[in-house]
Amino acid sequence: MNALRAFRDVYNRSYNKRPIVTLCITNCVLGAISDSLAQSITYYDYQKKRKRFPDIMDEQLPENVREHEHLWPPPPVYDPVRTIRFAFYNFCIAPIVGKWYMVLDRYFPMPAAGTALAATRTKDIIAIKRMAVDQAFFAPSSLAVFFTVMGLVETGKWEAVKEKFHDAYKPALVANYTVWPLVQLVNFKLMPLQYRLPFVSTLGILWNAYLSWINSATREEEKVIERQLV
């Protein structure tokens, strides 16, 4: 408990002095953890079942991606470049997410005073509004940015970006709407501004692992298609 309190105090001091840098570094570290977890599970599953992805992940992939899974090469024990790519993306996206949360605070401010019951009801309504706007606008656009950046960084080709959108965007968006509305509702109601991005990034370790999985799957499919065209 003392360690957590000390970490919180260090984080708060850092955030008060350098909010953007603090968010970037925090999100970068959590992104690296997410991708490392995804790679570890992928490697373990392959060693155990000779499959690149867990069953629950396979079910999320489009049929045209799954049909070539037997042609994908065995996963490496660990791909540090992939982790660096994913962590760097999380580093770069952190200021945008942080600013977005500030915008939501500005347009949907929490009540400063009032009766306890009225304040609670008002907070609930405002949290729902924040969540609704976030999920209607930021969630789909942030996924679009993710697959665009990953496609370009991995291959430098817009064709790869189009393939990712075709194969991965819809499943990822559907998965987002099964997980994040409730998480963001809690986030917007209970978390102070400086903790919101670390909160969602910490709870989102498995979500980011999922994004890493589905992005990796579409990349392997692209490689299979490229080999078939040669």
CA distance 207 to 9: 27
Residue identified by tokens 């075709």 is 166
CA distance 95 to 93: 6
Q: Read off the tokens for 48.
A: 């155990």
CB 171 within 8 A of CB 60: yes
Q: How many helices (H) and strands (E) does the chain have?
A: 11, 0
Spell out the domain ranges in the chain. Answer: 2-229
Cβ neighbours of 173 (radius 10 Å): 13
CB 109 within 8 A of CB 205: no
What pLDDT was estimated at residue 9? 86
Helices assigned H by DSSP within 108-157:
116-133, 139-155
CA distance 19 to 21: 6
Q: H or E element: which one contains 7?
A: helix 2-17
What pLDDT was estimated at residue 135? 97
Closest CA to 218 of 162, 149, 176, 177: 162
What pLDDT was estimated at residue 28? 94
For residue 129, give every residue at least 6 positions away whose Cβ sits within 8 Å of its Cβ, in sequence order, or none: 108
Each residue's pLDDT tens digit in the chain (230 positions)?
Answer: 677 788 888 888 999 999 999 999 999 999 999 889 888 877 777 666 655 555 555 555 666 555 555 556 667 778 899 899 999 999 999 999 999 999 999 999 987 655 555 567 788 899 999 999 999 999 999 999 999 998 898 888 888 888 888 888 988 899 899 989 999 999 999 998 889 988 888 888 888 778 877 777 776 655 655 555 44
Question: Based on the number of CB atoms within 10 Å of its own CB, is 26 exposed (0-12), middle (13-18) or buried (19 or more)?
Answer: buried
Exposure string of 69-89, with b = 16+ CB inside 10 Å and e = fewer, is: beebeebeeebeebbebbbeb
CA distance 55 to 182: 25
